[in-house]
Each structure stands twice: as structure tokens, then as C-alpha cells.
Amino acid sequence: MTSWNETKQIETHLLGTANPGEALLFDAHLLLDNELADKVIAQQKAYEIVKQFGRKQLKQEIEAIQQILFTQPQHIRFSQKIRRLFKKI
């Protein structure tokens, strides 16, 4: 089981926010402790999943706003301005 302190150390390592001495010490631990290396990989994968989820959520929000701005009658002038702007390019 991973302790909170160990999780925080892994996070500091992954984000690159440790001071040089702490970073060097952690790197040495990584070389000597396969279980710690596995935990670092697992936490890195978890961060990637969270990042991908955030991107997916943001994309959905942008698409919803686009749908509103380009389909609702009260936004037709805005829609026309944007379309003209991109026609010029």
C-alpha cells in the first residue's frame, strides 16, 4: 500500500517540483526499489487518464457552446460574422 507521503513524493517527482537534492535522492530510491518504480508508473498513468478525461470534458463543453452559438436565432449575427471572418482566410 502506498502511503500519503510516498504518493506526495511521487507527485513531486512527476511534476518536477522537487529541489535538486530531493530529486537525486528519489532517483536513487527508484533505482533500488522496483515496487516504487511500479508505483511511479501507475501514478503517471493515472495522471494521463485524468488529463484525457479533462480534455474530453472540455471538448464537450466547447461543442455545446458552438451548437448554441451557431444554431440559435438570437446568435445569427454572431454566427454570420464568424463565418465571414473565416471565408477571408
Q: What pLDDT is recorded for position 88? A: 66
Rounded to whole angstroms, the Cα distance separating 43 from 3 reads 13
Ordered by start, the domain boundaries in the chain are: 4-87
Sign of CA dihedral 68, 73, 77, 82: positive
- Has residue 89 got a pLDDT over 60? no
Q: What pLDDT is recorded for position 50? A: 93
Q: What percent of the chain has pLDDT over 90?
A: 69
Residue 34 has φ and ψ, to the nearest 5°, of -65, -35
